[in-house]
Structure 1
């Protein structure tokens, strides 16, 4: 026999915070990051926000010279730059978010590798290493496309 239990929650749902950004780049939505990158809600918000902020800072640092060149051309925000539109979002915004989201997911995965190194733990670590590499490859590809540099990925054996 099974029984279910309902535990009421009187607390109103708080909106997920936005990660503030430089005026040129869009703010980052915690909710959109969690949804698009399949980051479960049981991962503490503080940890996720911390890694998103680190990802925003690192991505902005890598785009610093490109951003200054765009501002010198008179473009005050990323959305001011003429670009292809996909639905209601511009290509550059989608690429910027991809760079930030994949970097943050890679950082979260890297930080979460506190696993015993039994044979099962070693297998999980190998899988995590591959996932981390994939996330950082996606970051490099998105940044290369934003700045207009061709991207080549070569796997060495």
Structure 2
């Protein structure tokens, strides 16, 4: 006798939207806080990145950028800047370009981290090709973050040395 059991596939329910207060990652007073909703739109993150993972990646990116800018920040504070928005810079779109550069640095470092974690998700042949493509994205994201940080500090983006 043959029997057939039908097993229903587990339902995957989308993650509930976070509370509006959970969308902001508070930063130290000198640097701007990061709005996770705005970041999702600006760097085109889809729903496969959970809120918890995004939040952790942003916290790590904020810490990296803040540490990298620590001595530059001390110089700016000594010159009288009470916060990043007070650093002399052009204002475009109604805000200091320094704020935009800071967000770019955080966004791209966080996205590079997330992409790195998701790249080994699929082990098929097409998944391997996607992983190679994602590596290019990771490198580009890290480069964009470096460029934003160097732009904030007024440093050249590349250093070329002849041997």
Q: Classify the TM-score, shorter chain.
A: 0.7 to 0.9
User: Which aligned runs of 4 or more in structure 1 are off by greater than 6 angstroms?
Assistant: none
- In structure 2, the gaps of 5 or more residues are 1-15
Contact 2:119 2:134 (8 Å CA) reproduced: yes
1:100 is aligned to: 106
Unaligned runs of 5+ in 1: 1-10
Deviation at 1:41, TM superposition (A): 3.1
Shift of the alpha carbon at 1:116? 4.0
Q: Distance in 1 between matches of 2:133 and 2:79?
A: 44
Change beyond 3 A, Cα 1:19–1:152: same
User: 1:116 and 1:41, CA in 2 relative to 1: closer, same or farther beyond 3 A?
Assistant: closer
State the match for 1:133 in structure 2.
Answer: 139
Look up the SS of the partner of 2:31 in the other structure.
coil
Normalised TM-score (structure 2)? 0.82
Cα deviations by residue, 1:32-91 (Å, 9 ceiling, x for unpaired) = 100101011342100000000000000001101000110111111001112111112211
State which of 15, 38, 41 in structure 2 corresponds to 1:32: 38
- In structure 2, the residue matched to 1:6 is none
Please give the alpha-carbon distance, in whole angstroms, between the structure 2 residues aligned to 1:84 and 1:32. Answer: 22
RMSD: 1.9
**Counterparts of 2:90 and 2:110, CA distance in 1:** 25
How many residue pairs were aligned?
Answer: 144
Structure possessing the higher radius of gyration over alpha carbons: 2
Structure 1 pair 146–122 and aligned structure 2 pair: CA distance change class (3 A): same
Larger mean CA deviation between 36-45 and 96-105 belongs to 36-45
Give the structure 2 partner of residue 8 of structure 1.
none
Distance 1:34 1:70, change over 3 A: same
Q: What CA distance in whole angstroms lies between the structure 2 residues aligned with 1:141 and 1:114? A: 27
The superposition leaves residues 2-59 of structure 1 with CA deviations (integer Å, 9 ceiling, x where unpaired) of: xxxxxxxxx9973152111111100000111001010113421000000000000000
Counterpart position of 2:19: 14
Q: State TM-score, norm by structure 1.
A: 0.85
